[in-house]
Structure 1
Amino acid sequence: MTRPLYQVKAEFFRTLGHPVRIRVLELLSVREHAVAEMLPEVGIEPANLSQHLAVLRRAGLVATRKEGSSVYYSVTSPDVAELMRVARLILTSVLSGQAEILDDLRAPVAGA
């Protein structure tokens, strides 16, 4: 018996549900990176980064290639980079709406 698509989508979004994984995907959306290049950008221990990269690999979002002793990671599809771009657009829109509400709240009220 197959799982409903909404459950598969929920698993996909749970995979994305960690700030380190989002940061890694943002970095890899620009270009491939070696693990050592990503470490200062994500600010976590190498073992922890490796765990997050493994999760992204199992989900099929990143791929690896080995060159000498370095392992390079890249996104598996331009759609992953597009997802990061669209998420940014959505957040920009949502936060802009919230900023407008905040501005309204800060405006002086006549007669108050």
Structure 2
Amino acid sequence: MPFSQRQRPLYEVKAGLFKGLAHPFRIRILELLSASPEVSVAELQDETGLEASHLSQHLAVLRRHRLVESERRASHVYYRLADPRVAELLAVARALLLGILQSDGARLDDALALPALPPSA
């Protein structure tokens, strides 16, 4: 049964959420933000190794899809997760990834070596 015209915008918002997650660097940025209450752009740049312009583009996508919020203080910009459930979503995605990779030993070892995620609340 197709969804109704009334339901369509809800599915579009949900698809937008996944578009926001659809890049390895954006996932890493979200993981970094899930480990701290807030992180400066300079720290994100150091941790990701991205050029400032590329980091800015990824952060803009995350803001557009309401996954992060930013705050300017003096000459610094700080980011935080827009909702703590984003960290929970990342943890569930990590668990799903590990389950999928159980049959692929080498890739599972790589996945297990990923930086730790903070515990879910």
TM-score by length of 1: 0.80
Between the aligned residues of both structures, percent identity stands at 53
Q: Give 1:66 deviation, angstroms.
A: 1.6
Secondary structure at 1:44 match in 2: coil
Q: Structure 2 matches for 1:12-91, cutoff 5 A?
A: 12-31=17-36, 32-91=38-97
Secondary structure at 2:13 match in 1: helix
Q: Which amino acid aligns with 1:16?
A: L
Change over 3 Å in CA distance of 1:73–1:17 after alignment to 2:
same
TM-score by length of 2: 0.74
Q: Give 1:4 deviation, angstroms.
A: 5.2
Gaps of 5+ in 2: 106-121
For the residues of structure 1 that align with 2:18 and 2:69, how far apart are their CA atoms?
A: 19
Deviations 1:15-65 (A, max 9, x none): 211111001000000111100001121111001101110111111110011
Q: Give 1:8 deviation, angstroms.
A: 3.2
Secondary structure at 2:61 match in 1: helix
The equivalent residue for 2:14 is: 9
For the residues of structure 2 that align with 1:89 and 1:12, how far apart are their CA atoms?
A: 19
Q: Say whether the 8 Å CA contact 2:33–2:39 is kept in structure 1.
A: yes
Q: Which amino acid aligns with 1:63?
A: E
For the residues of structure 2 that align with 1:10 and 1:61, how far apart are their CA atoms?
A: 13
For the residues of structure 2 that align with 1:48 and 1:20, how far apart are their CA atoms?
A: 10
Larger radius of gyration: 1
Gaps of 5+ in 1: 100-112
